[in-house]
Structure 1
Amino acid sequence: MFTCLYRRLVFVIVGLSLTALPALSHEFWIEPQKYQVESDMPVIADLRSGQNFVGPKLVYFARRTHSFDVTLGDHSTAYQGRMGDLPALQIDQMDDGLLIISHETVPEMLTYDTWEKFETFADHKGFADIGQKHQSRGLPRQGFTESYSRHAKALVSIGSGIGSDRLLGLETEFLAYANPYTDNLEQGFMVQLFYQGNVRPHAQIEMYERASDNAVTVSILHTDAQGLANIPTKPGFTYLVDAVVLRPATDDVEQVWETLWAALTFAVPE
């Protein structure tokens, strides 16, 4: 009993440390242990944070969670984990269909000691004009604060896997227009990017493609005028698509920028 509690405490401490390092561990995603699950088998998924589709597992921590839901068809259910759970999501079984797992974090704070670090991050995420915007607002070039939050979804096939993605009302989210487990993806996998319920035109998307040997390829794509982007896929690969909203903060004088990270993970069967 003591050993179990000790391990859980260690996991919580590690999880808190990792979630406090966005500058070092950029992406955040939901990674099911299996993307195709038999209908009478458990559904298990990890929360991960890292770079290039590689990163450690994070524990479930209620105070850092804004929402954690599982959606099947028209029904969404809030998932209630225990503090320190690892894996973060553990469900005994689900009915047949396309399961959507979604997770939103509460905002966390990060202080930039140097302008170069923030500029490098913003430029990498497609905001090359950040210097001009920062200067026009009369902001300091060091010691300023950013708030960041994560808005992730994952698609999992349960049994037949029949179904479709849907908008869940996340502040920013991807909507998939194909089912990767039942549809023909020879012409690609179409997604649409949303922010506050509206499409995000001409936004940068990072696509991470991971092979069975864990080799990862990274590509930069952009949404069109309707917020649509076609993701090229290959059978037997796992995918993460990621996009960031960078906006001025308005509700806290100490916090000058806000970033909102949308992520979607799925796999394409062989």
Structure 2
Amino acid sequence: MLDKTANKASFALSLKKVFAMLLSRLLLVASCALPLTPAAAHEYWIEPQAYQVAPGDTIQADFKNGQNFAGISLSYFDRSSTRFETVFDGQVNPVAARAGDSPALQLDALNADGLLVVVHETAPSTLTYKEWEKFLKFATHKDFPNAATDHIANGWSQEKFKESYTRHVKALIGVGSGPGADAAQGLTTEFVALSNPYAAGFDGQMSVALRYQGQPRPDAQIEVFDRSPDDSVAITLHRTDAMGEATIPVTPGHDYLFDAVVLRPVPEAADDPEEPVWETLWAALTFAVPQ
């Protein structure tokens, strides 16, 4: 009788442990799938585990979110992704990612030299500005001097107003000697690399075109994050010319994140505190410069 009672108690304890373990895993997955909070809504980029790979090597890359070119890795979830593709030798291929994949990109070997472009666009996420000053600081940082005036002119609240944001990111990976060229991929906003940093004869001048809705973005700010081999990061600001292009000097052995933001009012924003009144669209490009 005592043995049966002990066995029942042991079985009940085991069930509790299994249930607790399953619950903790479900909570972890759910937390990964939730939209980013305002505190986490900074730069977002694709970071390859190696920016240069040999033909035949597996290619892996993480989605990253953080500040100053340092941050956390995010898993792939289809609910937060609207587009995830690779482009190689002119061929566009959807990435066959599964929910929870980390690294987000796990690509079979490519058996030819070339430039691999990884493309990702996210579904909209929403944040709430609880302090007017934080919005002003963000608008100033991202070079939108008229945002405050437009906000007030529209009669929007300066307390607890919402913003919707999306990410439009690309990464350049050199396979073998890395020949090839980037091209516009039709993202809502995007960087198009006009230079190939892996190509023979690259002169240390990285030229890019910045686009929005298929058109050049002239006189737009580009924030450049330059990470050296010791992981220190230098940040500089640049502007596109009248053609929406910029040429930026880069250093061998360094990794780069180019970042540019579109801040726009939501068309016909409703007088509803639960609906966003602003949209931000973040373009990003990552690459490395070989030694």
Please confirm whether the aligned pair reaches a TM-score higher than 0.5, indicating the same fold. Answer: yes
Which residue in 2 is equivalent to 1:269? Answer: 290
* Deviation at residue 159 of structure 1 after TM alignment: 1.8
Q: What is the match of residue 37 of structure 1? A: 53
Instruction: Give the letter aligned to residue 185 of structure 2.
Output: L
Q: Deviations 1:211-234 (Å, cap 9, x if unpaired)?
A: 111110000111111111112100
* Matched letter for residue 249 of structure 2: P
AA paired with 1:70?
Answer: T
Residue of 87, 90, 94 corresponding to 1:78: 94
Q: 2:281 aligns with which of 260, 263, 269?
A: 260
Structure 2 counterparts to residues 9-20 of structure 1, below 5 A: 9=26, 12-16=29-33, 19-20=35-36
Contact 1:12-1:61 at 8 Å conserved across structures: no
For 1:38 and 1:263, the matched residues in 2 are separated by 25
Could you say which residue in structure 2 is the equivalent of 1:107?
Answer: 124
Give the match for residue 222 of structure 2. 205
Contact 2:33 2:80 (C-alpha < 8 Å) held by counterparts: no
- Deviations for 1:121-176, whole angstroms, at most 9, x for unmatched residues? 11111112211111111111012111000000000011221110011000000011
Cα RMSD for the two superposed structures: 1.9
Give the secondary structure class of the aligned counterpart of 1:269: coil
Code of the aligned partner of 2:278: W
Displacement of 1:9 in angstroms is 4.8
Whole-angstrom CA distance in 1 between matches of 2:25 and 2:180:
36
The structure with the greater share of residues assigned to helix is 2
Q: Note the 1:168-179 alignment, pairs <5 A.
A: 168-179=185-196
Partners of 1:46 and 1:6 lie apart in 2 by 26
SS in structure 2 at match of 1:131: helix
Amino acid at match of 2:146: D
Partner of 1:160: 177
Instruction: Identify the residue that residue 4 of structure 2 maps to in structure 1.
Output: none
The amino acid across from 1:108 in the alignment is S
| Secondary structure class of the residue paired with 1:80 | coil
- For residues 284 and 268 of structure 2, the distance between their equivalents in structure 1, rounded to whole angstroms, comes to 25
- Which residue of the partner structure matches residue 240 of structure 1? 257
Does structure 1 retain, via aligned residues, the 8 Å contact 2:197–2:204? no
Give the Cα separation in 2 of the matches to 1:23 and 1:190.
32
- Pair 1:48 & 2:64 matched: yes
Q: Secondary structure at the match of 2:226?
A: strand
**SS of structure 1 residue aligned to 2:70:** coil
Q: Is 1:222 matched with 2:243?
A: no
Q: Aligned partners of 1:155, 1:52: CA distance in 2, in Å?
A: 19
Aligned twin of 1:127: 144
Aligned-residue offset at 1:23: 4.2
Deviation at 1:11, TM superposition (A): 5.5
Q: 1:80 Cα shift?
A: 2.1
* Deviations 1:185-232 (CA, angstroms, capped at 9, x unpaired): 435110010000000001111000001111100001111111111121
In 2, Cα distance between equivalents of 1:247 and 1:156: 32
- Report the Cα distance in structure 1 between the residues aligned to 2:118 and 2:63, rounded to whole angstroms: 11
1:154–1:266 Cα contact (<8 Å) kept: yes
Do structure 1's residue 64 and structure 2's residue 64 form an aligned pair?
A: no
Q: Distance in 2 between matches of 1:54 and 1:89?
A: 19
| 1: CA distance, partners of 2:100 / 2:160 | 32
- Seen in structure 2, the aligned counterparts of structure 1 residues 245 and 267 have a Cα distance that, compared at 3 Å, is same
Structure 1 residues 136 and 63: CA distance shift in structure 2, 3 A: same
Match of 1:193 in 2: 210
Q: Is the 8 A contact 1:185 1:233 kept in 2?
A: no
Structure 2 residue matching 1:55: 3-state secondary structure:
strand
Q: How many residues align?
A: 267
TM-score, reference length from structure 2? 0.87
Give the partner amino acid of 2:178: G
Aligned to 2:236, the other structure's residue is in SS state strand
Quick one: which amino acid aligns to residue 71 of structure 2?
A: G
Tell me: CA distance 1:117–1:6, structure 2 relative to 1, closer, same or farther (3 Å).
same
